[in-house]
Structure 1
Amino acid sequence: MIRITQTKQGLVRGLAAADPYITSFKGVPFAEPPVGELRWRAPQQAKLYEGIKDCFEFAPISMQNTPGEDKEDFYSKEWNLYPEIPMSEDCLYLNIWTPAKATQDKLPVYVWYFGGGLQYGNTAEMEFDGERIARRGIVVVTVNYRINLFGFLAHPELTSENPKAPANFGNLDQKAGLQWVYENIKAFGGDPKQITIGGQSAGGGSVLTQLNDPSNQPYIKRAVVESGMFLSPFHDSPYITLEQAERQGEEFFRILDITSLKEARELPAIYLRDKNRELGFQWWTAIDGVFQKEYYLKNLLTGNILDVPLFFGYTKNEFIEEQNGKKVNTIQLAMAAAVLAMRRTGRHKFSYCYEFALDMPGEDQPGAFHSSDLWFFFETLAKCHRTFTGIHYDLARTMCDSLSAFIRTGNPNKNTKKHSRLPEWKDCHSKNRNLMLFDKEIICKCLDSEEELLFIAESCIGQDQISRIH
């Protein structure tokens, strides 16, 4: 087992996970702390250090509202968030779980971005512990990044200071983490030519944001998007222009009576966090003309996004409103957009679509809620407060097998274990627009005809948008 290894910055030491054949390295620095003059700047390469860095514990989480503060909040309980977790601007660290016996093993790699609407979240959340996927011969990496005000502020002074990186610092952190993995993962037994990036909710949107950057092509072999691909109609995208983002930044400074960027960088992080919470500002990825030149969904429909095999899906109880007020399951909208993209661009890489429909157990009767599939794809049910039974554990094993097969080969059908209950998973490029339904029974089924999906697309995306791409 690899317990001590050499990165480009220095030696790191990990610990045996619960499974002694897996080594975890937690809190590995991939960039300089974004503090002081580095606040609201693109991430800088981590400096060299001497000695051995013990990577035994998660690093502090990104600045955000205190996790788990509201005990009645659904996700605070679901993810078992606790207010005492350390928090700091010094947050650019990643975590690695590796089953490699030697650095020459060349195992496939899975790089994960957490969700949370770009406003909250962290890599220490128990639902995406990487050990179970690592048991399947994969090196798992979870990347922390700046969020909310600290990761996505824009302001005219920032644009003047560095026109090449005026905004989207949290997304640039994600990219820096990916580049670090590409440059260093051999030291952990990983293959830099076999990197799959994945994420859920805003982390899934972040995956598409990274695919929307052509310079990422050398780093990404495949992609996984869970509960996060098409959660907003095209006419109400979560992206904003740089000018809109700058105006929001100016308004934030005006309310706080901040007269310059220099003054803002000198303010305590806790003060800025608390004022942001008090004022209720939300901060998003912006079309900055550099890192993001267009909204990723539009580029998907015009073929201007990295063409890699894609594994994507949703949970049963995720819905979106059409323009006429009716609700459409987001899986239908995702498939509709995929139909449009294939019709317009002839994209050829295989994509595999799923719907997670198994109701979660519990007195609250939550159904198959947003991101509930995480417990199953990472096979971390034992860490959840819910009382699961055999059917849940069997399904989790199968779902984790299928995801792991995709990470290894680009096909969820390949190399699955003999005990797998997975029927043949047909890709969604075939005539009948197939998806895998994960429920009490696992079924590969046809979602809708192409004509029905195009009708859904027109309802949700808007006929004017459809006309522009045909």
Structure 2
Amino acid sequence: MGEVREGVARRGLLTAGAVGGLMAAAGSPAEAKQGGSAGVGTQLLSTPPSAIVETRSGKVRGCVRQGVYTFKGIPYGKTTAGAARFLPAEAPAPWKGVRPSLTYGPCCPQVARGGWQNDETAFIYDWDDGYPGEDCLRLNIWSGGVTGKARPVMVWIHGGGYETGSSQELPAYDGERLARKGDLVFVSVNHRLGGFGFLDLSSFGDPRYAMSGNAGQLDLVVALQWVHDNIAAFGGDPGNVTIFGQSGGGAKVSTLMAMPSAKGLFHKAIVESGSLLDVGDTGYTRRLAEAVLKNLDIAPGDLGKLAAVPPMALVAAADKAKNAMPKSPPGKINLGWAPVADGHAIPGPTWTNGAPALSADVPMIIGVNLNEFSPSLGNAALEDIDEDRARVTAKSFGGASPAAWAAFRAADPKARPVEILSRIVSAQFRLPAVVQAQAKAKQGAAPAWLYRFDYNPKTVLDGRVRAFHCAEMAYAFDNVDRCLNATGGTAEARALSAKMSDAWIAFARSGNPNHKGLPRWPPVSTGAIPNMLFDAVCTMKEDPDRAQRAALSA
């Protein structure tokens, strides 16, 4: 059993200790083959006067790389250090002159990444962990042009649960290629995480901390407000904003759809492997906060002392408290840190009573990967796990009954036991995704399109990569050749990337992902659950795993 868990990549919606991750260098010959716009002998990068843009806080200077305007590390809020910890973010202080915006800013301090300890996992994900700092309310922009027209805007929210990650951690997050291909504006953001962003101090009597349990989620609202106020200067249309996120980022997107302060700041939404249908309950979040204070030896009446705690000491105390909390039953996702229905920032349940009325007019793309849990990704020996052991693992880790195993086995009689195990445990992502799409359909307002990403680049690690947690981003963002470690950079992978990225671009432009390169993709309705299956050959299938989901839910 220990081997199986060790084989799980440690990052993503389940954060350090559950499901894992993705994906190299910009400007490589491979990238040029995928469709770079510059030819031999042309200038690839410059920092011209046209790359100086004025925001409401001051001027920023970026660069132009192969025709795409790029700005990194722009503050959308003040530092959250010291007395500002746990409080709602404030707009950045204005600056004079031109602020260089050429490199990524700080990432929220967080627990160390366990995945580096496994060579194959680290190879596939190809992480860039950046550097920590509480002045982390930063965003990055890639634009097809800063003048001429108002371009669609896509705001990317990173994964890592609510505890880890950043806007730069995976090569797939780079927005240059999608901005160029779609002639759009791609924005990515950092925000507060873990104890910095979700420490619910609301029960301790200090009114300043009434919304501290949602500080990280409120950061995203402030970032969206910044986009609304400033993105036109970068060539973007503030009236055509799509928010999208994967894993924990998808959960954040889902939550933003139920937040009054975010209403009107975005117009479309994409949830990739992150259909978390509820937020934390106050009983859990307050017990977690009590444990953090105890670990720091701070009394509830002395909350002011929290401002002086060194950042990594807070990280350690928060992680210790989270790990001591009761575990979820098999098959249930508990992120440890999460937003909370505080009656203010999040007035009540988000998706448990149906799709939020606040965002009824927001169309969605919702989907998952076939192998979110890919046990042999970092442990080749698990390819040969036998049927009996795989069954036991599926029951303990995924909560699967013998009947559920039989249903998955009947759907693919020739699959190896490790593959059946992977699909059963991965269904904890699939089930809520279908429920979320059905909720939008039942609402009867904006449509929702459902997908499943099935592609396995068999040239990498003997086919053990499969359609793992985070894999789809390289294809949806047209970044197959930036993510060679995970995709192989084959012609087949590029062809799939062209189809999938065109769907994301079409959706950002019009709210409909259909385009001539794909079979017709109908939205989910009250009577049908059509799915686009993204694979070497993309196909449309009606509710392809109905029997398996029913067996798991029985």
State if a TM-score over 0.5 links the two structures: yes
Label 1:53 to 1:340 Cα distance change in 2 as closer, same or farther (>3 A): closer
Structure with the larger helix share: 2
**2:82 alignment partner, one of 30, 36, 46:** 36
**1:377 alignment partner, one of 476, 485, 504:** 476
1:351 CA drift (Å): 1.4
How far apart, in 2, do the equivalents of 1:337 and 1:12 lie?
40
**1:251 alignment partner, one of 291, 295, 299:** 291
How far apart, in 2, do the equivalents of 1:252 and 1:332 lie?
33
Label 1:291 to 1:220 Cα distance change in 2 as closer, same or farther (>3 A): same
So what's the TM-score if we normalise by structure 2?
Answer: 0.74
1:375 CA drift (Å): 0.9
1:159 CA drift (Å): 5.7
Aligned twin of 2:449? 352
The Cα offsets for residues 285-307 of structure 1, whole Å up to 9 and x where unpaired, read as 11111111233221435756443
| Structure 2, gaps ≥5 residues long | 1-47, 324-335, 374-396, 405-423
Answer with 347-356 or 159-168: which moved more: 159-168
Q: How many residues align?
A: 441
Identity %: 29
Helix, strand or coil for the counterpart of 1:286? Answer: coil
**Residues 23-422 of structure 1: pairs in structure 2 closer than 5 A:** 23-67=69-113, 70-72=116-118, 76-82=122-128, 85-102=130-147, 104-125=148-169, 126-135=171-180, 136-156=182-202, 160-162=206-208, 165-230=211-276, 239-259=279-299, 260-278=302-320, 280-281=322-323, 282-301=336-355, 303=357, 305-318=359-372, 321=398, 326=404, 327=424, 329=427, 330-331=429-430, 333-339=432-438, 342-343=441-442, 345=443, 347-361=444-458, 362-363=460-461, 365-384=464-483, 385-386=485-486, 387-414=488-515, 421-422=517-518
CA contact (8 A) 1:67 1:81 kept: no
The Cα offsets for residues 103-131 of structure 1, whole Å up to 9 and x where unpaired, read as x5111100010000111101112111101
Label 1:56 to 1:68 Cα distance change in 2 as closer, same or farther (>3 A): farther
CA contact (8 A) 1:158 1:166 kept: no
How far apart, in 2, do the equivalents of 1:33 and 1:194 lie?
29
Aligned twin of 2:43? none
So what's the TM-score if we normalise by structure 1?
Answer: 0.86
Residue identity in the other structure for 1:13: R
The Cα offsets for residues 364-412 of structure 1, whole Å up to 9 and x where unpaired, read as 6021111210111112122222423110011011111110110011111
| Structure 1, gaps ≥5 residues long | 463-470
Residue identity in the other structure for 2:511: G
How far apart, in 2, do the equivalents of 1:175 and 1:142 lie?
13
Residue identity in the other structure for 2:85: R
1:32 CA drift (Å): 0.3
Helix, strand or coil for the counterpart of 2:233? Answer: helix
After superposition, the CA RMSD in angstroms is 2.7
How far apart, in 2, do the equivalents of 1:358 and 1:374 lie?
12
How far apart, in 2, do the equivalents of 1:211 and 1:264 lie?
31
1:217 CA drift (Å): 2.2
The Cα offsets for residues 227-250 of structure 1, whole Å up to 9 and x where unpaired, read as 1115xxx7xx5x222343122111
Helix, strand or coil for the counterpart of 1:193? Answer: strand
How far apart, in 1, do the equivalents of 2:175 and 2:205 lie?
38
CA contact (8 A) 2:200 2:289 kept: yes
Aligned twin of 2:54? 6
